[in-house]
Amino acid sequence: MLDDPLSLTFAALADPTRRALLALLSQGEATVNELAAPFDMRLPSISKHLKVLERAGLVEQSRHSQWRPRRLQAAPLAQAAGWLEHYRPFWEDSFDRMANYLDELNVTEKEKSHGRKA
Amino acid sequence: MVAKPDLQSSGQSVVIERVVKVPRALAFEVWTSPRHLARWWGPRDEQGRDFSMASCEMDFRPGGSWRICIRSPGGDDYWQGGQYREITPPDRLVFTFAWERAEEDFPLTLVEVDFLQEGPDATRVRFRQSGLPPSERDGHAIGWAECLDRLAEFLVADQAPEARS
């Protein structure tokens, strides 16, 4: 189950360095050297993070050479976001029902405190 | 899916905000016991009929588990469960949430609910659900969604080129 695409995406996104790398790549293609520049980190560490992102399909290396720039792949992210969106109707309905229930509770409370007056 | 105007989403999490006309203590309380949850927790079917709550166990304390079965009007059961991570009445409630299904393992999500004072007798309920990686299943979690704003913008732009032109 750890190899399913969604789990790989979530796992890849769990690390702050990798999120920062994705944010950099969202501005356009970049080489490993360019990506490493803002970080206080050695190139091999950056490469390791990029490998995790590549395995999750979030980053693509154009051709297999080191100086080729990396490119962001949005499809797995869209899938992760789309999957989460499935929850929205559940909560939208629940919140509607909660609002009704709270109204009911509120009326009961008010009747309790003012009931004697009538 | 068409977004309603009171909703916003970073693309990496589901965000819902609602103002309810009760004080914060009461808005928080309806999340704290099966008796309350049975009255509102769960969706409606296409005809607008409420799902019912077939089972609800909750150990309402940090680290405690919860497990709920909701039943569709047609009689289908859906199990879900998780663990309470943070309970700070009447400010904030954090718990994990996952569907249970035999045929596939659903990824774990994190639900964060903040209760904000909105005038004397109203509360703004700020709800957020985001994904959690598998490694967080038993550990301490931090939602990863916060850091992805720029990325989300990119994603939206990438998904809907026709909407922009």
Residue A62 lies inside a defined structural domain of this protein: yes
Query: Alpha helices of B20-148 — where are they, by DSSP H?
Result: 24-29, 34-40
- In chain A, the number of structural domains is 2
Q: In this structure, are A62 and A97 located in the same domain?
A: no
Residue A55 located in a structural domain: yes
Q: Report the pLDDT averaged over residues A98-109.
A: 90
* Global pTM value: 0.63
Distance CA A25, CA B151 (A): 9
pLDDT for residue B36 is more than 80: yes
B130 reaches A (C-beta below 8 A): yes
CB nearest to B43's CB, from A26, A93, A101: A93
> Under an 8 A CB cutoff, do A97 and B151 touch?
no
* A33, part of any domain: yes
Q: Is A67 found in the same domain as A26?
A: yes
pLDDT tens digits along A59-84 = 987 665 556 778 888 777 777 766 77
- Band (pLDDT 50/70/90 cuts) for residue B14 is confident
Average pLDDT, chain B: 78
Alpha helices in chain B (DSSP H): 24-29, 34-40, 149-159, 161-164
* Confidence check: pLDDT of B67 > 90: yes
Domain assignment present for residue A79? The answer is no
Model pLDDT, residue A31:
84
Judge if ipTM > 0.85.
no
Residue B50 has its nearest CB partner, among A72, A97, A103, at A97
Q: Do A69 and A91 have their domain in common?
A: no
Q: Are residues A67 and A106 in the same domain?
A: no
Query: Are A14 and A59 contained in the same domain?
Result: yes
Which positions in chain B touch A83 (Cβ < 8 Å)? Answer: 107, 131
Q: Is the pLDDT of residue B23 over 80?
A: yes
Q: What's the CA gap between B47 and B64, in Å, rounded?
A: 35
| Distance from the first to the final alpha carbon of chain B | 20
| Domain shared by A99 and A69, yes or no | no
B89 lies within 8 A of chain A by CB: no
Selecting from B14, B27, B147 the residue whose C-beta is nearest the C-beta of A88 gives: B14
Same domain, A57 and A97: no
Mutation target for B interface from A95, A104, A109: give the one with most B CBs within 10 A.
A95
Same domain assignment for residues A30 and A66: yes
Tally A–B CB contacts below 8 A.
Answer: 134
Flag whether A81 is in a domain: no
pLDDT at B94: 96
- Show the domain range for A17: 5-73
pLDDT over 70 (residue A51): yes
CB contact under 8 Å between A13 and B144, yes or no, is: yes
Condensed to tens digits (0 to 9), the pLDDT of residues B126-137 reads 999 987 755 554
Residue of B nearest to A98 (CA): B40
pLDDT over threshold 60, residue A7: yes
* A60 & A97 share domain: no
SS (H, E, C) chain A: CCCCHHHHHHHHHCCHHHHHHHHHHCCCCECHHHHHCCCCCCHHHHHHHHHHHHHCCCEEECCCCCCCCEEECCHHHHHHHHHHHCCHHHHHHHHHHHHHHHHHHHHHHHHHHHHHHC
Residue A106's pLDDT band, with cuts at 50, 70 and 90, is confident
Does A78 reside within a domain?
Answer: no
Confidence of residue B103 (pLDDT cuts 50, 70, 90): low
Listed as own residue / partner, the contacts of B116-123 with beta carbons closer than 8 Å and 24 or more positions apart are B116/B24, B117/B24, B118/B19, B121/B21, B121/B22, B121/B23, B122/B19, B122/B20, B122/B21, B122/B22, B122/B23, B123/B19, B123/B20, B123/B22, B123/B23, B123/B24, B123/B26, B123/B27
User: Does a structural domain hold residue A82?
Assistant: no
Whether residue A62 is found in the same domain as residue A100: no
B88 C-beta neighbours (distance < 10 Å), count: 12
For residue A5, list chain B residues with Cβ-Cβ distance below 8 A. Answer: none
User: At A38, which CATH number?
Assistant: 1.10.10.10
A26-48 residue pLDDT tens: 878 888 888 888 888 888 899 89
